A and B are shown apart, each in its own frame.
Chain A
Amino acid sequence: MSDYTGLFERASARFRVPDLPIEGMLQRRDRKRRNQRIAAGVVGIAVALAAILAGTSVFRSDSQIPVSVPSIQGAMHNGDITFMVSDGLWGISSEGSPTRPLPTACCDPAGGWIQGADWSPDGTRFAYGVLSRQPKTVATGVYVVDAASGETYRVTEGPVQSVEWSPDGSTIAYSDFSTIRVVAAGGADRTTVWDGSGSALDPSWSPDGTRITFAVPGRTGGGEGPSEGEVHVIDAVGTADRVIAKGTVGPSSAPAWSPDGSTIAYIDGCYLVLISPDRTGPVLRRDINGCLARGMGAGDGVWSDSPQIVWSPDGTQLAFNLPRAGSAFPLFVMNADRTGFTKLPISRHAVPPIAWQPVP
């Protein structure tokens, strides 16, 4: 408490607290929701009329969207590592099978570009973000596509840096570069998890769905943010924010939580680093860029525009890309025990982001 606390307490005591019964608050909330539903209904009718008049059937109501599926973490196997090519979604196995186009019709960048992608835990839906420098003319936001039908709907509006499904498939965490938010997969409810100073990138869920890890890059020039980059862990309701690692956390350090919950992987300069979320275990590093072999210092490895790490659905492997401006991105896989470091032969036309599809 400060020297002025007494004065402030006296000042605040001048305000008579109004009668705020809990029942009244709940009624007020219900009224608000009813009004929102009515407003949404009016808008829906207007949209439906517009669709009928335009002779199109591209509109989809939220009531058709499956918003919750049981948690199936740990019950899925490794499908393809997927990435974008100009004509859609392609995949490759971690053993390096020839790349192949996937049947899912995906993903229209709507005049912007795709930034962030993730498969739902049951592998049936694919979420991606759209980013643009002209947000007024491009329909930026989080999108979800049904893998079987290709049916696509927009979940949020506004630029997106990264997306990740919650382990139960009911919500999606995403970054808009400065904020980490969680939104219901149907788009109905959105909460802010972190909105601190600086950028907040690459959210990744703990497998029990209670926490989220993300990166806060170190500030450059006069920007906001910490002097050193940081990896954070925060409760999914936006409390108990903790910095679990600091270092050369670059523009996108891409922390990723392992499916068994024991490890967070992130990129720090030359290294792919593996740490335990509560920092009780050893810090394991793997030079993934040949920095040390080339005699470079550990901090010289901030080379990649937007690296990304994804764990295999069974948690035995990691895949990561190291995109560089103006060139095809190399895609690597590595075993979780840091052995078996392999470069995959993907198409030269491939572009990030990557995602690892779970299959039953």
Chain B
Amino acid sequence: MGEPPAFEAFFEHEKGSLFRALCLVTHNRSEAEELTQDAFLRVFERWDQVRAMDDPAGYLYRTAMNAFRTWHRRAILGGKRTIGLTPSDDGFAEIEAEDAVLRAIAPLTPRQRAAVVLIDLLGYSSEEAGHMLGIRAATVRTHVARAHADLKKWVGAER
């Protein structure tokens, strides 16, 4: 086994992929940035334990998904968007217009998008994704199947 990575190296290696994954999940770059920072801070505070793990990145994504779940719950319960605590991402629509995947997952709920991103982008199993999101693996598979059906439509329309 090699030397466990330093936090700085781990951060530089993972920050881009985590931020981009969270952009797909939240459809809001400000929220993605905030969640990314929160996840890294939590990992940083436990780095002595996390660095010794077999899969520190797995812990990072699990932490990020936990933060996302909390954020999502608060957004629902507190009407966070409606009272303007989270800035809207006006430029997101432009990026979305250029990409079939973004358009395909746009109608999904954030939780459904999280399931799809964990499976299709990050390569987790439905069981692992279900555990991270607090839903059943079967529910994850349902979300993913629905997204894939939409994706086929969008991608097919572009060809």
Residues from chain A with a CB closer than 8 A to the CB of B114 are none
Residue of A nearest to B101 (CB): A11
Q: Interface size (A, Cβ < 8 Å)?
A: 32
Within 8 A of A (CB), among B1-46: 7-8, 11, 15-17, 19-21, 23-24, 29, 32-33, 36-37, 40-41, 44, 46
A12 touches which of B7, B23, B66, B130 (Cβ 8 Å): B23
Within 8 A of A (CB), among B54-72: 58-59, 62-63, 66, 69
**Pair A4/B151 contact, Cβ less than 8 Å:** yes
A241 touches which of B7, B11, B131, B134 (Cβ 8 Å): B131
**Pair B99/A14 contact, Cβ less than 8 Å:** yes
Q: Does B93 contact A (CB under 8 A)?
A: no
Cα of A8 to Cα of B29 in the assembled complex, Å: 17
> Which secondary structure characterizes the binding site on chain B?
helix
Known: A4-B148, A14-B98, A15-B20. A237 touches B46 (CB 8 A): yes
Residues from chain A with a CB closer than 8 A to the CB of B148 are 4
Cα of A133 to Cα of B154 in the assembled complex, Å: 49
Within 8 A of B (CB), among A1-24: 1-2, 4-5, 7-15, 17-18, 20, 22
Known: A7-B101, A196-B131, A197-B135. A237 touches B59 (CB 8 A): yes
> Which secondary structure characterizes the binding site on chain A?
loop
Residues from chain B with a CB closer than 8 A to the CB of A4 are 101, 120, 148, 151
CB distance from A221 to the nearest CB of B (A): 15
Q: Does B102 contact A (CB under 8 A)?
A: yes
Within 8 A of A (CB), among B79-103: 95, 98-102
Q: Does A36 contact B (CB under 8 A)?
A: no
Q: Interface size (B, Cβ < 8 Å)?
A: 49
Question: Which of A13, A237, A240 has the most chain B CB atoms inside 10 A of its CB?
Answer: A237
**Pair B101/A10 contact, Cβ less than 8 Å:** yes
Known: A2-B119, A15-B19, A17-B19. A7 touches B100 (CB 8 A): yes
Residues from chain B with a CB closer than 8 A to the CB of A26 are 41, 44
Cα of A29 to Cα of B99 in the assembled complex, Å: 35
Q: Does B78 contact A (CB under 8 A)?
A: no
Residues from chain B with a CB closer than 8 A to the CB of A14 are 95, 98-99, 102
**Pair B134/A20 contact, Cβ less than 8 Å:** no
**Pair B121/A12 contact, Cβ less than 8 Å:** yes
B41 touches which of A12, A17, A29, A239 (Cβ 8 Å): A29
Cα of A350 to Cα of B117 in the assembled complex, Å: 52
Residues from chain A with a CB closer than 8 A to the CB of B63 are 238
Known: A7-B100, A195-B66, A197-B130. A18 touches B120 (CB 8 A): no
**Pair B37/A197 contact, Cβ less than 8 Å:** no
Q: Does B107 contact A (CB under 8 A)?
A: no
Residues from chain A with a CB closer than 8 A to the CB of B101 are 4, 7-8, 10-11
Sample of 10 further A-B pairs with CB below 8 A, known A12-B121, A196-B131: A4-B101, A4-B151, A5-B120, A8-B101, A18-B19, A25-B41, A195-B66, A195-B69, A196-B130, A237-B59
Residues of chain A touching chain B, judged by Cβ–Cβ distance below 8 Å, are: 1-2, 4-5, 7-15, 17-18, 20, 22, 25-26, 28-29, 192, 195-197, 224, 235, 237-241
> Could you list some 6 contacts between A and B, CB below 8 A?
A8-B120, A10-B99, A20-B33, A22-B44, A197-B134, A235-B49
Q: What are the nearest 8 A-B pairs in CB distance?
A: A12-B20, A11-B101, A8-B121, A17-B16, A15-B23, A4-B120, A8-B120, A1-B123
